């Protein structure tokens, strides 16, 4: 399928704006660029609360979204995208609100440390530490510790699946589900989609720049905590929904990771969104499929956490 007209229109807007590409900007200037204007209206939820949880190096800001004012809610821990360099709690506020409403779960967004100031494995360790703390203090957060999912988009999808690996290997929280939205899973990827869709929002020079900020060591790029595709054993990880965009350089590696999970006996729902580009879920104000994908994700998480039961990690 060809690039969807709504995606092409967005790319045309970016091209007409001119200026240097993102990866040629100083990090501070790159962080001032936001896609939130394309995210559509901000959905109301019952309560939003900003707080902090202890981290391995410093307190970690988190934002708690509650779709209803009730205790013992299931929980989605959410990690934002941005190449481990960009974005924050505000950049993904709309996505978290819609996911909370669509899933019926509390959503806790994690403002992990960013590179290059804090390179690998800082983001992964923050994501894991926040998940552990919330699980251990479930009553304080009004959530059910037996019904916790992890999820995120792009770099956040990477963090979600890395947290499941850490939880299994470190005897951490019992996680029930992982939601991976066009996840980064392999820093060594040279699959066909990387070449075919180079420049559809993401470009190879941009992705190289992100990698250099977060994982400057070539050896570290093969660590399962940076590139989950390099994990030798995925058995016993939580069931997953893996969502990919057809016209995204990261498409093939996301789908390859889904197949690797399936080969390890992990139940997986893999859904490719035709004609879509990498950040389409964050562009739901101008790309209709963004709303569809968020509702699909919310429904999947709702079903996975609908009742207490035995965990998979």
Alpha carbons 209 and 198: distance in angstroms, whole number:
14
> The dihedral of CA 242, 243, 246, 247: what is its sign?
negative
**Position of tokens 């939601």?**
179
- Which of 127, 299, 143 has the alpha carbon at shortest distance from 228? 127
Quote the crossing angle between the two packed helices 122-136 and 155-169, to the nearest 10°: 60
**CB–CB of 239/178 below 8 Å?**
yes
- Which of 194, 228, 215 has the alpha carbon at shortest distance from 83? 215
Q: Which of 111, 144, 153, 248 is catalytic?
A: 248
3-class secondary structure for 168-199? HHCCCCCCCEEEEECCCCCCCCCCHHHHHCCC
Q: Reply yes or no on whether 278 is catalytic.
A: yes
- What's the gap between Cα 151 and its chain centre? 5
Q: Which of 80, 92, 118, 278 is catalytic?
A: 278
**Position of tokens 């996840």?**
183
Q: Reply yes or no on whether 284 is catalytic.
A: no
Q: Reply yes or no on whether 171 is catalytic.
A: no
Q: Which of 91, 103, 146, 154 is catalytic?
A: 154
Enumerate the active-site residues. 154, 248, 278
């Amino acid at each position: 399928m060809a690039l969807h007209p709504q995606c092409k229109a967005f790319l045309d807007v970016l091209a007409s704006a001119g200026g240097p590409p993102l990866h040629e900007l100083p990090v501070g200037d790159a962080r001032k660029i936001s896609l939130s204007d394309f995210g559509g209206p901000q959905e109301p939820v019952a309560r939003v609360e900003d707080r902090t949880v202890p981290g391995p190096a410093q307190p970690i800001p988190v934002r708690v979204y509650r779709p209803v004012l009730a205790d013992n809610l299931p929980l989605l821990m959410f990690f934002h995208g941005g190449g481990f360099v960009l974005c924050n709690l505000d950049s993904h506020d709309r996505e978290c609100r819609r996911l909370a409403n669509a899933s019926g779960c509390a959503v806790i967004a994690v403002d992990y440390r960013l590179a290059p100031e804090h390179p690998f494995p800082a983001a992964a360790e923050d994501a894991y530490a926040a998940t552990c703390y919330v699980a251990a203090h479930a009553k304080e957060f009004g959530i059910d510790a037996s019904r916790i999912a992890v999820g995120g988009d792009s770099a956040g999808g990477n963090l979600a699946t890395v947290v499941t690996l850490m939880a299994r290997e470190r005897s951490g929280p019992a996680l029930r589900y992982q939601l991976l939205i066009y996840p980064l899973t392999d820093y060594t990827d040279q699959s066909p989609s990387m070449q075919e869709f180079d420049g559809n929002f993401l470009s190879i020079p941009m992705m190289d720049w992100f990698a250099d900020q977060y994982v400057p060591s070539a050896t570290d790029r093969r660590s399962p905590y940076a590139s989950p595709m390099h994990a030798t054993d995925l058995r016993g990880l939580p069931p997953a929904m893996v969502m990919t965009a057809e016209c995204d350089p990261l498409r093939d590696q996301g789908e390859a990771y889904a197949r690797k999970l399936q080969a390890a006996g992990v139940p997986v729902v893999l859904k490719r969104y035709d004609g879509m580009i990498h950040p389409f879920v964050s562009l739901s104000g101008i790309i209709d499929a963004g709303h569809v994908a968020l509702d699909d994700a919310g429904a999947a998480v709702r079903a996975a956490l609908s009742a207490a039961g035995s965990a998979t990690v």
